[in-house]
Amino acid sequence: MNQTTAHATNRTVHDADSHITESGGWMEDYASEYVKSNLDKPFIDLENIPQLKPIFEQAKNRLAGNDPELTERLKSDLYGNPGKRNLMAAYGAVDGEERRDSLDIAGINSQIVFPGLVFFSRFANSKDPKVVYGGSEAMNRAMVDFCAADSRRLLSVGYLPLKDPAQSLESAKQAIEMGVKSFWLRSDAVEGRAPSHVDYDPIWALLEEAGVPIVLHIGSGVLMPKEYKNTGAQRTLDPMSLNIETTSPKDLPVLHHSIERWLTCMIFDGVLERFPNLKIGLIELGANWLPACLANMDLGVSQLGKFDVGLKNLSMKPSDYMKRQVRATPLHVEDTGWILRNVGKEMLMFNTDYPHPEGGSDPFGDFERSLDLVQPSPEELDHFYAKNFEDLMGISTGS
């Protein structure tokens, strides 16, 4: 049920991770004819899986206004209702007006809104730059359109390809002008360039000046390489899964590997030194790994960087750049209290992953129970639920 937790009572709450659910053909509505005819097929086409057709029909029926009882049940228990597993039918999954209403129901002030991975997969890996950049523009317009129901509270995530730095700069300018509030990037090296390559500096300067952060999300980089899944034996999924698996058990322990490489480059190569107001969000990547990451980066500089002139030009420890400019979302199943005690109050953010089932049936309660185990101060809770999000997104509260 939508019960207010003790932590959320009389406290500003922002949600650092949510998604839309894309219906078939939605991206085509925003794409040029050339892009439409050259989009990749979705890596998974849920609407054409026979066992799922009744579920999608149920969603269409509800969205057409023909199942008000289901709508009320979903609204009465946004996170826990079993109907949320039908991502199309979930309240606010495909309709911006409903999503705005869901924030009021949940007591959330504002929310970062990501596309789904199906949308992203249609163009981002294309060999054709026209499709990559044209697809990016189409996705960005679609995201801004969804969030137009309340663009102050629904904060759209756009995608910024990095295949051609000069073209990427123009793409970023266009997206900022249309209303994109953050940019989802690849964390892997692109076209043989490090994430910290100097050709990207004009892009970082633009984002810093505009107050638009970078967001890295599951899907930004390589998870478990496919070669490591080639065991010579057949892997079998339970029939209940319908053979659908977007993230495998082997992926979870390595979610952060590509992200850590990206962060190391951005800090060690001086990007965060040169752009001290450039903010970075690490979303749906877990946070158990953050304490070790901070310690290992500090060790890398102090123990192995003694003769590296570039590292000597850094004005602070890598962990201090992280605390100044990087914010992260723990998973609701992690020991968030332990993470808080090991990284400090400046980094962690509340999130629901709505409407994805991985976000859990009680994200408010899960985070509250974990945090209460370490007896957080009111200041630490304010940072977790609001201030770190506001710092990431450049939201001024006047206080």
| Cα 301 from Cα 40, distance rounded (Å) | 42
Percentage of the chain beyond pLDDT 70 is 95
- Give burial (CB, 10 Å; 0-12/13-18/19+) of 351: buried
Percent of the chain as helix, strand, coil, to the nearest 5: 50, 10, 40
User: In this predicted structure, what is the pLDDT of residue 77?
Assistant: 94
Identify whether the C-beta of residue 343 lies closer than 8 Å to the C-beta of residue 335.
no
Contact 105, 78 (CB under 8 A): yes
pLDDT of residue 168: 98
Structure-token match 């050339």, residue found: 34
User: Quick check: 236 pLDDT over 80?
Assistant: no
Classify domain 14-19+95-224+252-393 at the CATH class level.
alpha beta
> Is the confidence at residue 61, as pLDDT, over 70?
yes
pTM given for the model: 0.94
- Mean pLDDT (the chain, rounded): 92
Residue 250 has pLDDT above 50, yes or no: yes
pLDDT tens by residue, 341-378: 999 999 999 999 999 988 999 999 999 999 999 999 99
pLDDT at 201 over 80: yes
For the stretch 145-167, pLDDT in tens is 999 999 999 999 999 999 999 99
Assess contact for 244 and 49: CB atoms under 8 A. Answer: yes
Interval 64-119: pLDDT, tens? 999 999 999 999 999 998 877 777 888 999 999 999 999 999 999 999 999 986 66
3-state secondary structure 2-61: CCCCCCCCCCCCEEEEEECCCCCCCHHHHCCHHHHHHCCCCCCCHHHCHHHHHHHHHHHH
Closest CA to 58 of 46, 70, 50: 70
Query: Mean pLDDT throughout 293-322?
Result: 93
Is the predicted pLDDT of residue 10 greater than 90, yes or no? Answer: yes
